Amino acid sequence: MPVKALPGLTLSRSAMTILEAAEAAGRLTLAGSVDELLEMAVPQDQVDPEGYYTVGYDVPGKGVVNECKVCRVPNGIAANYLDPYMRRRDPDCMLIADEQHTDKATFKERFGRSFDKDRAETLEWLSEQPIAAFFFETGLPGNPLTGLAICPANAGFFGLGLALLQGIVPIEKVLEAGDDYYHEAVVYVAPPFRHTHFDGKQVVVHNRRFDDNVRLHELFSYNLYPGPSAKKGVYGMLLTRGERADTPWTTAHCSTVQVVTPYDNVTTIMHEGASGGGKSEMLEHMHRAADGQLLLGKNLVTGDVRSLTLPRGCELRPVTDDMALCHPELNPDGSAPNRLSLMDAERAWFIRVNHLTQYGIDPVLERLTVSPPGPLLFLNIKAVPGATTLIWEHTEDEPGVPCPNPRVVVPREYVPGIVKKSVTVGIRSFGVRCPPCTQEHPTYGILGMFHVLPPSLAWLWRLVAPRGHGNPSIVDQGGMQSEGVGSYWPFATGRRVDQANILLKQITDTASTLFVLIPNQHIGAWDVGFAPQWVAREYLARRGATGFPAGELKAARCPLLGYHKEKMTVEGQTIGNWFFDVATQPEVGVDAYNTGAELLTNFFNEQVQKFLHEDLDPEGKKIIEACLDGASVEEYDGLLTSAV
């Protein structure tokens, strides 16, 4: 079909030029289905004798640089990057090229030049390549963000990932829409520029072209790892759209699950947090030992082990894995007052499986990925053409060192028990990766099994969003880092104060929500993995999303941690004070706890000052000033209406 027959493309002259050039040279594939991209991911007439298709590019001065080896397997497509650096998202990859308002690093600041020349060279390079292009949609059904992806044809696996994650639009639908079809976004993919222009680094450039005549968000992806661009880059487009709306809204960085107890009570939990904060794990069933018990933790000093016996866990109905559309139209009739309504913003989930190191840890996901209803995309997982790819066999960055970020892209309709509509949230949790804390090595790993937060503190935690200990998803910079407002700040293109205001209004408008804080990896001297999250989920679902009666909670020693229980009984088994007040652990003590509290407080004070902007909501300013003045938990409780 001729490109000129498609309406709307004339609104993006640059995209039209590339597609027309490729079409004239007989090297354009305008895909309208995932099946077409599957065929392009591993062209069978171009595989080597072993069955691999190598994606590479001619780089001036370097010759052909191979980026990735891709192969067909019975359960989908598997891609492995040859450079270990490309197996994780670089946290500094995002740059802004335009003159719109932003607090993010700009292209000109990083490289000392305007993006205009690089943009022109990118478009020229693409005009000379075989091209795979397709339309996609993301966001609110009925009013989605419509986009166009333009990739070099040999990067079919990248296009496949984008199409799975965001949803490819059939060409017939574009034709039926006629002149009403308008693509608001374009993704351009030019992998060799990583070497020729950007010193081998991952770079993703946002170019927002918004004025009286143009409404177009361009994204230039200069790498082949989908995380920074096909996943988080499109996430940035959604955040930009929500920020610019007449009634601003956001896309939360969270997983969401409906938890059905053995007594048929249903509680919806929304779990936010930085990468590695336990979003995917909130959707997982508890990982049990061979005897059926849940390992609660192992003491790193004494070697003691604590386990729980939970004969029957709750039923899990997944809703979102990473991105939740929090749009006001999802509760138009006010049927859920003071509660947040949301729905999934993605068509597929980008699931990290680094914690699955052997068969049998997560039977549900293992069964789904070994024999899926349709093809999956595997990244950074060992693969042999024609042999089933197994999610617990991870590619090694070097001999004996597995890649910390193996991934699988799973269409959400393949997920058992998936919820296909919007839901209303009862409990809103925030996850933090914590290091061990002991007397000899005090750290901020002082969080107990779970803490209950006043809404004002819940907002502060979403401003600071600690990235936490040993993050597996990104190139770790070491030490305590902030993921930034909402924990989605790395993907946002605008100003942090605008997102802070959106989140403050969202929390203020949902005052009856129960806000909790949950650590993972360590509680003081105990190595706990994600057990706190699973135990808290089981307990909170059983008791419901109501507040706690007076006297049931105790103010934490560190005011930033809100309140905690002193002990907890789950299915007749008691979890004692050591797991709620870390200072009571003999291996930690009050002094080490206080040192950790000071580290955490200093970090918060450093981060929240960034939001003291003249455009910050006055209520937000009061909360930040209270934080800087060392407010007590009770003082935080009085700043916004609390569900505690």
pLDDT of 643 > 50? The answer is: no
pLDDT of 24-63, one tens digit each?
Answer: 999 999 999 999 999 999 999 999 999 999 999 999 999 9
Query: For the chain, what is the total number of helices (H) and then of strands (E)?
Result: 16, 32
Terminal CA-to-CA distance of the chain, rounded, Å? 60
Percent of the chain with pLDDT over 90: 81
Q: Over the Cα atoms of the chain, what is R_g? A: 24
Q: Provide CATH 3.40.449 ranges for the chain.
A: 3-243
* Per-residue pLDDT band at 116 (split at 50, 70, 90): very high
Q: Average pLDDT of the chain?
A: 92
* Per-residue pLDDT band at 546 (split at 50, 70, 90): confident
Percent of the chain with pLDDT over 70: 95
pLDDT of 478 > 70? The answer is: no
Give the orientation angle of helix 589-608 with respect to helix 618-628, to 10 degrees.
Answer: 140
For 399-532, where are the E strands, in sequence order? 401-402, 407-411, 423-424, 427-433, 451-453, 514-523, 526-529
pLDDT at residue 644 in the model: 41
Mean pLDDT (whole number) for 497-503: 98
Q: Among 33-42, 121-130, 173-182, 269-278, which stretch is predicted with the lowest mean pLDDT?
A: 173-182
pLDDT at residue 556 in the model: 98
For residues 511 and 196, which has the higher predicted lDDT (pLDDT)? 196
The residue assigned the tokens 């230039």 is 220
Q: Provide CATH 3.90.228.20 ranges for the chain.
A: 250-340+425-637
What DSSP element (H or E) covers 357? none
CA–CA distance, 389 with 51 (Å, rounded to integer): 14
pLDDT of 297-326, one tens digit each?
Answer: 999 999 999 999 988 889 999 999 999 999
For 23, the 3-state DSSP assignment is helix
Mean pLDDT (whole number) for 74-90: 96
Q: For domain 3-243, give the fold.
A: Phosphoenolpyruvate Carboxykinase; domain 1 (3.40.449)
pLDDT at residue 333 in the model: 58
CA–CA distance, 147 with 543 (Å, rounded to integer): 44
Q: Which long-range contacts (CB under 8 A, 24 or more apart) does 226-229 make?
A: 226/158, 226/161, 226/162, 226/165, 226/350, 226/379, 226/409, 227/88, 227/89, 227/350, 227/407, 227/473, 228/89, 228/90, 228/93, 228/94, 228/202, 228/204, 229/187, 229/189, 229/204
CA–CA distance, 194 with 21 (Å, rounded to integer): 24
Mean pLDDT (whole number) for 402-412: 96
For residues 209 and 183, which has the higher predicted lDDT (pLDDT)? 209
For residues 371 and 310, which has the higher predicted lDDT (pLDDT)? 371
Residue 416 DSSP one-character state = T
Token representation of residue 271 = 């779990």
Which 3-state string (H, E, C) describes 296-339?
A: EEEECCCCCEEEECCCCCCEEEEEECCEEEECHHHCCCCCCCCC
* Per-residue pLDDT band at 334 (split at 50, 70, 90): low
* Per-residue pLDDT band at 12 (split at 50, 70, 90): confident
pLDDT at residue 474 in the model: 55
Mean pLDDT (whole number) for 207-228: 91
pLDDT of 519 > 90? The answer is: yes
Q: For domain 250-340+425-637, give the fold.
A: Phosphoenolpyruvate Carboxykinase; domain 3 (3.90.228)
Mean pLDDT (whole number) for 215-231: 95
Token representation of residue 6 = 């498609």
Residue 368's contacts (CB-CB under 8 Å, 6 or more residues apart) are 410, 414, 415, 416
CA–CA distance, 345 with 322 (Å, rounded to integer): 9
pLDDT at residue 6 in the model: 60
How many Cβ atoms from other residues are within 10 Å of residue 95's Cβ?
24
- φ, ψ for residue 309 (rounded to 5)? -110, 110
pLDDT of 244-256, one tens digit each?
Answer: 999 999 999 999 9
pLDDT of 137-169, one tens digit each?
Answer: 998 888 899 999 999 999 999 999 999 999 999
Residue 620 DSSP one-character state = H
